[in-house]
Every structure is written in C-alpha cells, then in structure tokens.
Amino acid sequence: MDIILKEVNDPKIKDVVLTKIDVTKDLSLAKVYFSTYNKSAKEGIERGLNRSAGFIRHCILKGLSMKKSTYPPLYL
C-alpha cells in the first residue's frame, strides 16, 4: 500500500483501499481486490491501477530478492 500512496503519481488512485490480496504458492499470480469510498471513481481507479501495474511490480521486485514477481490482476 505504501507504493500506491507514496510512489505512484496518479491522482485517480488516491481514494483506493486494498481489501484483499490472494497470492499463489509459487508467487506467480496475485489477485488484488480493492474498493473506494468514491463509488463514482471506480472505473478511473481501476484504469489508473492498471496503468501503474508495471511500476508497482518494479517497486516490489526492487524491495525483494526475487528474479520475478507477480502481475496482479485487479478485482472490484
């Protein structure tokens, strides 16, 4: 969540709340569930998160000692 709040510079995703993250045992897939208090902005938030997914993935890899990370699909 710190990556989204502090490092992603997209104003559309400022109202996002991550509600759940499911990760497979081999860490190859993560499902990210989110919500927002601003219900009219759900589609904009989803587009913003999808646009920022590569950057978020890069930040996760930078903080971990792994050769690959998951590509998180988003669910409302």
Report the distance separating Cα 10 and Cα 31, nearest Å: 21
Residue 68 banded pLDDT, cuts 50, 70, 90: low
- What's the pTM? 0.68
Q: C-alpha distances in angstroms, 2 versus 10, 26, 48, 53, 58?
A: 14, 24, 16, 14, 14
* Confidence (pLDDT) at 3: 78
What is the fold of 2-75?
Answer: GMP Synthetase; Chain A, domain 3 (3.30.300)
Which residue has 């902005």 as its token pair?
A: 41
- Domain extents in the chain: 2-75
Task: Say whether pLDDT at 76 is over 50.
Answer: no
Q: Looking at per-residue confidence, does 34 or 64 come out higher?
A: 34
Q: What is the pLDDT of residues 3-51, one digit of tens each?
A: 777 788 888 787 888 899 888 887 777 888 888 888 888 888 888 888 8
